Amino acid sequence: MASDLPPQFVATFIVLAICGISICAFLTWKHHQKKKTPLVCPLHHDCSIVTESAWSHLFYFRNETLGLFYYVSMLVGITGTLFFSVPGPRFLMLLPYITGFGVLFSAFLVGVQIFKIKDYCFYCLISALVTILLFLNSLALTF
Q: Identify the band that residue 87 occupies on the pLDDT scale cut at 50, 70 and 90.
A: low
CATH topology for 2-142? de novo design (two linked rop proteins) (1.20.1440)
Q: Rg of the Cα trace of the chain?
A: 16
Q: Answer whether 0.85 is exceeded by the pTM.
A: yes
Bridge partner list, 58: 61
Within 10 Å of residue 20's Cβ, how many Cβ atoms?
25
Burial class of residue 29 (count of CB atoms within 10 Å of its CB; 0-12, 13-18, 19+): exposed
pLDDT of 2 reads: 53
